[in-house]
Amino acid sequence: MNEKVIISVCVGTGGMAAGALDVIKAFETELAGRGVEAEFKKRCEVHKVGCRGFCAKDVLVDVTAAGKTRTYQNISAGMAPRIVDEHILQGNPVMEWAVGPEYATFHGKQHKLVLAECGIIDPEEIGSYMEHGGYKAAAKALLKLHPEEIINEIKKSGLRGRGGAGFPTGMKWEFCRKAPGTRKCVICNADEGDPGAFMDRSVVEGNPHSVIEGMLIGAFAIGANEGYVYIRAEYPLAVERLKRAIGQARESGWLGKDIQGSGCDFDIRIGLGAGAFVCGEETALIASLEGQIGEPRPKPPFPANKGLWGMPTNINNVETWATVPKIINNGAPWFSGIGSEKSKGTKIFSLVGKIKNTGLVEVPMGMPLKEIIYDIGGGVPDGKKLKAVQTGGPSGGCITADYIETPVDYESLGALGSIMGSGGMVVMDEDTCMVDVARFFLSFCMDESCGQCTPCREGTKEMVRLLEEITRGEGTPEHITMLEEICAAMKEASLCGLGKTASNPVLSTLKYFRHEYDAHIFEKKCPAAACRALINFRIDENRCKGCGMCLRNCPQGAITGQKKKPHTVDPDKCIKCGACLDSCKFGAVSKA
Amino acid sequence: MDLKELDGILARYPEPESTIISILHEVQSVCHYLPEEALRQLASKTGVPVTRLYSIATFYHFFSLTPKGRHQVHVCLGTACHVKGSERVLTEIERELGAREGETTPDMRFSIGAVRCVGACSLAPVMVVDNQTYGKMTPKNAKEALKKYE
| Residue type for position A218 | G
Domain count, chain B: 2
Residue B66: other Cβ atoms inside 10 A: 11
In this complex, do A197 and B95 lie within 8 Å of one another by their Cβ atoms?
no
- B65 found inside a domain: no
In this complex, do B17 and A17 lie within 8 Å of one another by their Cβ atoms?
no
Same domain, B126 and B79: yes
Provide the pLDDT for residue A56: 47
Residue B49, phi-psi category: left (phi > 0), alpha (psi -120 to 50), beta (remainder): beta
Provide the pLDDT for residue A1: 43
Provide mean pLDDT across the span A74-85. Answer: 89
Q: Which residue of A424, A577, A578 is in closest CB contact with B79?
A: A424
Question: Min CA distance, B130 vs chain A (Å)?
Answer: 12
Instruction: Let me know: does A543 contact A453? Beta carbons within 8 Å.
Output: no
Residues of A in contact with B97 (CB under 8 A): none
Residue A577: other Cβ atoms inside 10 A: 20
In chain B, which residue's Cα lies nearest the Cα of A192? B119
Q: Which residue of A14, A437, A441 is in closest CB contact with B123?
A: A14
A346-429 folds as Ubiquitin-like (UB roll) (3.10.20)
**Mutation for A interface: B53, B77, B79, most A CBs within 10 A:** B79
Same domain, B23 and B44: yes
Provide the pLDDT for residue B135: 87
Provide the pLDDT for residue A74: 83
In chain B, which residue's Cα lies nearest the Cα of A428? B83
Question: Min CA distance, A350 vs chain B (Å)?
Answer: 8
In this complex, do A196 and B80 lie within 8 Å of one another by their Cβ atoms?
yes
pLDDT in tens, A502-556: 999 999 999 999 999 999 999 999 999 999 999 999 999 999 999 999 999 888 8
- B93 found inside a domain: yes
Is the per-residue pLDDT at A418 higher than 70?
yes
Least confident of A25-29, A364-368, A433-437, A484-488: A25-29
| Residue type for position A311 | M
Residue A6: other Cβ atoms inside 10 A: 14
Same domain, B78 and B21: no
Provide the pLDDT for residue A47: 32
Same domain, B82 and B46: no
Same domain, B43 and B81: no
Highest mean pLDDT, choosing among A43-47, A100-104, A292-296, A348-352: A292-296
pLDDT in tens, A466-510: 999 999 999 999 999 999 999 999 999 999 999 999 999 999 999
Q: Which residue of B63, B92, B116 is in closest CB contact with A195?
A: B116
Question: Min CA distance, B95 vs chain A (Å)?
Answer: 9
Is the per-residue pLDDT at A53 higher than 80?
no
Provide mean pLDDT across the span B19-48. Answer: 94
Provide the pLDDT for residue A42: 46
Provide mean pLDDT across the span B66-94. Answer: 91
Residues of B in contact with A14 (CB under 8 A): 120, 122-123, 135
**Residue of A267 and A31 predicted with greater confidence:** A267
Provide the pLDDT for residue A48: 33
Q: Which residue of A16, A198, A234 is in closest CB contact with B115?
A: A234
Average pLDDT of chain A? 90
Question: Min CA distance, B17 vs chain A (Å)?
Answer: 7
Residues of A in contact with B55 (CB under 8 A): 293
Provide mean pLDDT across the span B53-68. Answer: 94
In chain B, which residue's Cα lies nearest the Cα of A54? B122
- Number of continuous H segments (helices) and E segments (strands) in chain B: 7, 4
Residue A103 pLDDT grade (very low, low, confident, very high; cuts 50, 70, 90): confident
Is the per-residue pLDDT at A43 higher than 90?
no
CA pair distance A18, A52, nearest whole angstrom: 12
Domain A434-523: which CATH number of 3.40.47.10, 1.20.1440.230, 1.10.510.10, 1.20.1260.10: 1.20.1440.230
In chain A, which residue's Cα lies nearest the Cα of B92? A577
Residues of B in contact with A275 (CB under 8 A): 60-62, 115
Name the architecture of domain A536-591: 2-Layer Sandwich (3.30)
End-of-domain residue from the set B31, B59, B87: B59
Q: Report H helices in A162-235.
A: 169-178, 199-206, 208-222
**Residue of A36 and A376 predicted with greater confidence:** A376
In this complex, do B123 and A277 lie within 8 Å of one another by their Cβ atoms?
no
**Residue of A37 and A30 predicted with greater confidence:** A30
Same domain, B114 and B77: yes
Same domain, B110 and B134: yes
Q: Report H helices in A331-375.
A: 332-336, 369-370
pTM of the model: 0.91
- Here the contacts of A257-262 (C-beta below 8 Å, separation 24 or greater) are A259/A138, A259/A142, A259/A216, A260/A138, A260/A139, A260/A142, A260/A143, A261/A143, A262/A142, A262/A143, A262/A220
Is the per-residue pLDDT at A28 higher than 90?
no
End-of-domain residue from the set B34, B59, B84: B59
In this complex, do B131 and A236 lie within 8 Å of one another by their Cβ atoms?
yes
Instruction: Let me know: does A549 contact A561? Beta carbons within 8 Å.
Output: no
CATH of the domain at B135: 3.40.30.10
pLDDT in tens, A176-224: 999 999 999 999 999 998 888 888 988 998 899 999 999 999 999 999 9
- B66 found inside a domain: no
| A and B: number of Cβ contacts within 8 A | 155
Question: Min CA distance, B119 vs chain A (Å)?
Answer: 5
CATH class of the domain whose range is A126-336 = alpha beta
In this complex, do B140 and A234 lie within 8 Å of one another by their Cβ atoms?
no
**Mutation for A interface: B117, B137, B138, B140, most A CBs within 10 A:** B117
Provide mean pLDDT across the span A436-458. Answer: 95
Is the per-residue pLDDT at A20 higher than 70?
yes
Same domain, B55 and B102: no
CA pair distance A563, A548, nearest whole angstrom: 7
Name the architecture of domain A5-103: 3-Layer(aba) Sandwich (3.40)
Find the domain containing B43 and state its range.
Answer: 3-59
